[in-house]
Amino acid sequence: MTGELILDTGGLNAGAARSEATAASLIGTTFTMSMNSQPSAGGVAAVNAALSAVQGRQSTRITGQAGDMTTGAAAYTKTDTDGSGAITAVSV
C-alpha cells in the first residue's frame, strides 16, 4: 500500500452526541393544556397528548440509534487497531 489509512471515528461519536441532545430536547418539550371551555379544547388536548406520545417514541428511537453509532465507532476502532497490529506483526 502506498499511503496510510486514517481512521477517524470522531464524526460518528459527534453525531451520536448530537442525536442524544436532540432526543433529550424532545423529552423536555411539553404542550400546555388549556382549561378553556370552548368545544375545541378537548380536541386540542387530545392532539397535544398524541404529540407528546410521538415525541417520547421519537426520543427513544433516536437514543437507540445514537447508542448504535457509538457502538459502531468503538467496533470500527477495535477492528482497525486489531488489523493494524496483525499487519505490523506480519511486516516485521
The single residue listed with the C-alpha cell 375545541 is 40
Q: Is 3 a member of any domain? A: no
pLDDT at residue 13, rounded to an integer: 93
Average pLDDT over residues 54-72: 95
Domain with 69, as residue range(s), is 9-91
Q: Is 22 a member of any domain? A: yes
Q: Is 59 a member of any domain? A: yes
Give the Cα separation of 41 and 85 in Å (integer). Answer: 66
Count CB-CB contacts under 10 A for residue 70. Answer: 18
Whole-number mean pLDDT of the chain?
A: 85
Q: Is 18 a member of any domain? A: yes
Q: Is 1 a member of any domain? A: no
End-to-end Cα separation, the chain, in angstroms:
15
- Please tell me whether residue 16 adopts helix, strand or coil conformation: helix
Using 50, 70 and 90 to split pLDDT, how confident is the model at 22?
A: very high
Residue 2 clears pLDDT 60, i.e. is over it: no
Q: Is 67 a member of any domain? A: yes
Count CB-CB contacts under 10 A for residue 84. Answer: 12
Q: Is 53 a member of any domain? A: yes
Is 23 in contact with 62 (CB distance < 8 Å)? Answer: yes
The total domain count for the chain is 1
Q: Could you tell me which residue, 24 or 35, shows the higher pLDDT?
A: 24
